[in-house]
Amino acid sequence: MPTKPRTPDQVDVRGPRFAAWVTTAVIVATLLIWPLHPVASAVLLAAQAVVFAVGAWLGPRRHPYGLLFARLIAPRLGPVTDREPAPPLRFAQFVGFVFAGVGVAGFALGVPTLGLIAAGLALAAAFLNAAFGICLGCQIYPLVARISSTPSPV
């Protein structure tokens, strides 16, 4: 008996956009409080790094902001009209984790410029997704997937 080809997990596009808005708010808060409370800023960015890690590892359906969207926001919206595949979203969360991790490391190692730049880059990516639906990690994903699936020339 033939089996159906497996399609990637699909999610409502509004969930990742909501997550991007929350991420934008968290990173803006991180940058705004840094001059007053650098340690609190680093802790907030570390918390966001954990959220990114959960999204990268467990996917958008179990992402903390995704769960918030599914329980509180989605039931108040109309039916899903557009879906997107989860693997590029997981990769985008991984990229966010890397930037947030570099930011936390910069703050912790006494290199605040590195921390601020990394947080600023994560903010730019989150805002692009939230405001315009442009997911930079999702745009890079096909290239990375192609490279990682290319057999090595041995």
In a domain, 62, yes or no: yes
Task: Tell me which DSSP letter residue 75 carries.
Answer: G
In a domain, 100, yes or no: yes
Q: What pLDDT is attached to residue 152?
A: 55
In a domain, 153, yes or no: no
In a domain, 102, yes or no: yes
Q: What pLDDT is attached to residue 46?
A: 98
Q: What pLDDT is attached to residue 4?
A: 47
- Regions of the chain short of the pLDDT cut 70: 1-8, 150-154
Q: How many domains does the chain have?
A: 1
Cα separation, 117 vs 113, in Å, equals 6
In a domain, 124, yes or no: yes
In a domain, 5, yes or no: no
In a domain, 4, yes or no: no
In a domain, 58, yes or no: yes
- How does pLDDT run across 58-102, given as a tens digit for each residue? 999 899 999 999 999 989 999 888 899 999 999 999 999 999 999
What count of residues does the chain have? 154
The range of the structural domain enclosing residue 48 comes to 10-76+84-148
